[in-house]
Amino acid sequence: MAKAKVVGGSKGVKGKSKFKKASGSKKHPGGGKKSVKKNMTKRDKKKKELQKNKEPVTSGKERNEKRKLQDNDKFSVANKKSKMTAGKTNLTRKELDKKKLSVRRQRKLPADSLERINKAKQIWEHVRRHDMKKEERDKSINDMMGLISGNVYELSLKHDTARIIQCILKFGSQEMRNKVYDKLKGHVVELSKLRYAKFVIKALFRYSSPVQRSQLIKCYYNHVQSLVRHKEAVELVELAYNDYANASERSLLVQEFYGPQFAVFKDNGGRSLSAILAANPEEKTKLLEHMKAALTPLLDKSLVRHNIIHQAFLEFITHADPSSIADIMESLREVAVEMLHTREGAKVNLQCVWKGTAKDRKVFVKSLKSYIVKICKEEHGHLVLLGIFDCVDDTVLVSKTILTEIIASLEEICQDKHGRRVLLYLLNPRSPQHFSHQFLQLLTPGDSNQHSKKPQDIRWAELRAAISPPLIKLISENVVEWACEKPLAPLVIETVRSAVGDVTPIYTTLINEGLTRPLDTDHGINDSDQMITDLVADSNQCHLIGDPCGHWVLKKLIAINREDSTPLFSDLIIQSVPSDYISTWATINRGCFVLSSLLSEASKENQEKLKELLQSSVIDQLRTSNTEGASVLLKEL
């Protein structure tokens, strides 16, 4: 009792005063004591927030229904489509679930089949090795075929077992391939749409006989329009069209874009749209309207890359009237870059350039921005740039959009064989020296277009003036090396002949770095040029006189007589190269030809100077030589 009294009456004890403060003297409005509030930790606060955000408690029935919906979401795309069409088939949710379950049970293989497939997978792991002997592989392939012969279609659907079928097609006998073909020929369209099964069909195309390939292609008839919109199946249609179909079969595949009658009733002749319209001109409007409706949805970056679609677009845009072309032009120019890698796609873009108005051309040129270097290096795509150079009147736009990117990567473009064609066309358009007749025939149809007003020669001259200064500068820095390279030599010669500006820096570099160097004089005039070529090939830089390509470039440059104030290359050589070096050129066959060119093209004063030098130093050696170059040079002397 005494202890309790001390605790109750002493204010000095901290516990007592704290207890009183916590309990408080005030009463709750209801009559009871106020509830005690504790300091909440971070964990308690987080728990409280989670309880607030927690979904309301539902009944067990509602939870089961929700779980079913979540399970249904995990089904394949095919099952999702069936869920969307449940109302059309008048199936309840319960009936639909039963149907899906039955399909899964049908696809599920029995236990004994699973054991055989597992054995086949183990065998496949050994067969796929590259170091396996042929006899062992043949035996293993026979065993594997015996294990899976009854489940070829089912195994083609799964990623791991589909590889077994591909392995059998690759290493198996023709009899085994025929068995696989017989099992799958009725499911080609279905398997082409599946992610892993499409590789089986691809292997089937590769390893089947020509007759079987033709039958596989026929499986796609009446399905082309739907298959080209499918991201998996379009690869197989493109493969069949590009690699395995003959001309008639390709035409039959493209014909399905003409109209439904061409998809169902196949014309054995495989006629093109031009032939069909020539035979039935009254059907032109109807066919082109159907083609427009069929092709417009394909103007998507993921679909428009394929050659079969490019061919369909080419036939449409070739025969369509201007109003129909204008309707589709806006969408077509947005995906122009995706079509430049094929010949047909490049022709489609050329048609857009030729048939587009000035406004359409401006938008089209701008759509190529940031892709110019890649287009220059495309086998077919660079043709579109040449068409732009021919037709677009706004050369300022072309210079800013196209030539600016070309100049920024000029050396890279010079090193590419298609890029060099673009530069050669800018320097000397339509030159038969650089472009074949068949190639130029692709560009001439655009000359009669209705929307180009500026004379073609003026357009070419303005573009040539824009590309010349940076090209002269680059070539003057690399001319000695490039003159000895056969692919680059024509660009060097054409730049000197056609570029606008002073080409003297090119001449100066050639003389200082390529000609002001001694030849090996240990070999006389009767030695072969091949020996001299081998000798100079060991040095850091080729000697132009002894190089097979270099001496040819020198002769071409010496023969060029520019109309401007540029001095003659032949005069610069005679005046700048030391006489001792020039006299040694007469000791090799190629050097004799270069000296003969100098005597033909130089001014009279320099001709006399060179003749005097050669007559006093090498005339006796030339008379005793039996080379062709020596005899030609003697006639000049």
Q: pLDDT band for position 323 (50/70/90)?
A: confident
pLDDT on residue 384: 96
Q: Could you report the per-residue pLDDT of 475-524, keeping only the tens digit for each?
A: 999 999 999 999 999 999 999 999 999 999 999 999 998 888 887 644 44
Query: Token match 């030695």: residue?
Result: 527
Mean pLDDT (the chain, rounded): 82
Judged by DSSP in three states, 91 sits in coil
**How far is Cα 309 from Cα 297, in angstroms, rounded to an integer?**
11
Residue 59 pLDDT > 70, yes or no? no
Question: What are the residues whose beta carbons fall under 8 Å from the beta carbon of 435, sequence distance 6 or more?
Answer: 421, 424, 425
Residue 536 pLDDT > 60, yes or no? no
Residue whose C-alpha is closest to residue 337's, from 268, 384, 396: 384
pLDDT on residue 60: 57
Look at residue 39 and tell me if it is in a domain: no
Q: pLDDT band for position 619 (50/70/90)?
A: confident
Residue whose C-alpha is closest to residue 446's, from 429, 467, 434: 429
The mean pLDDT value for 454-458 works out to 94
234, 252 in Cβ contact below 8 A?
no
pLDDT on residue 23: 42
Look at residue 444 and tell me if it is in a domain: no
**How far is Cα 43 from Cα 41, in angstroms, rounded to an integer?**
5
Q: Residue 563 carries which DSSP code?
A: S
**What does the chain come to in residues?**
637
Look at residue 149 and tell me if it is in a domain: yes
Look at residue 388 and tell me if it is in a domain: no
Residue whose C-alpha is closest to residue 364's, from 407, 341, 398: 398
**How far is Cα 360 from Cα 333, in angstroms, rounded to an integer?**
9
The mean pLDDT value for 392-406 works out to 95
Helix (H) or strand (E) run with residue 396 in it: helix 395-398
618, 583 in Cβ contact below 8 A?
yes
What's the number of CA atoms in the CB half-sphere (13 Å) around residue 427?
27
Per-residue tokens: 123: 């065998």
The mean pLDDT value for 372-382 works out to 96
Q: How far is CA 522 from the centre of its chain?
A: 53
Q: List helix spans (H) across 230-381.
A: 233-239, 247-254, 260-264, 273-279, 284-295, 307-319, 322-334, 343-355, 358-367, 372-376
Residue 106 pLDDT > 70, yes or no? no
**How far is Cα 396 from Cα 262, in angstroms, rounded to an integer?**
47
Residue 334 pLDDT > 50, yes or no? yes
pLDDT on residue 3: 44
Look at residue 467 and tell me if it is in a domain: no
pTM to 2 decimal places: 0.76
Judged by DSSP in three states, 263 sits in helix
Per-residue tokens: 461: 């001259």
**N- to C-terminal Cα distance for the chain?**
147
Top-ranked range on mean pLDDT: pick from 166-180, 274-288, 618-632: 166-180
pLDDT on residue 260: 82
Residue whose C-alpha is closest to residue 527's, from 383, 398, 630: 630
Domain holding 148, by residue range, is: 109-219
**How far is Cα 392 from Cα 384, in angstroms, rounded to an integer?**
12
The mean pLDDT value for 449-454 works out to 91
The dihedral region occupied by 235, where left means phi > 0, alpha psi between -120 and 50, and beta the remainder, is: alpha
Q: Could you report the per-residue pLDDT of 342-358, keeping only the tens digit for each?
A: 999 999 999 999 998 89
Q: Which residue has the higher pLDDT, 341 or 25?
A: 341
User: Which of 169, 185, 219 lies at the terminal end of a domain, its last residue?
Assistant: 219
Look at residue 252 and tell me if it is in a domain: no
The mean pLDDT value for 365-380 works out to 94
Look at residue 10 and tell me if it is in a domain: no
pLDDT on residue 484: 93
pLDDT on residue 53: 55
pLDDT on residue 175: 94
Look at residue 414 and tell me if it is in a domain: no
Helix (H) or strand (E) run with residue 143 in it: helix 134-148
Q: Which residue has the higher pLDDT, 325 or 271?
A: 325
User: Which of 188, 219, 250 lies at the terminal end of a domain, its last residue?
Assistant: 219
pLDDT on residue 62: 60
Per-residue tokens: 533: 């070529």
Q: Residue 391 carries which DSSP code?
A: H
Residue 558 pLDDT > 60, yes or no? yes
Q: Report the 10 Å Cβ neighbour count for 562.
A: 15
Q: Could you report the per-residue pLDDT of 584-608, keeping only the tens digit for each?
A: 888 888 988 998 899 888 888 888 8
Q: Could you report the per-residue pLDDT of 113-159, keeping only the tens digit for each?
A: 678 888 888 888 888 888 888 899 999 999 999 988 888 998 998 88
pLDDT on residue 263: 67
How many folded domains does the chain comprise?
2
Residue 444 pLDDT > 50, yes or no? yes
User: Which of 187, 219, 251 lies at the terminal end of a domain, its last residue?
Assistant: 219
Dihedral, 365, 367, 373, 378 alpha carbons, nearest 10: -90
Top-ranked range on mean pLDDT: pick from 86-95, 167-176, 257-266: 167-176
pLDDT on residue 91: 74
The mean pLDDT value for 172-181 works out to 94
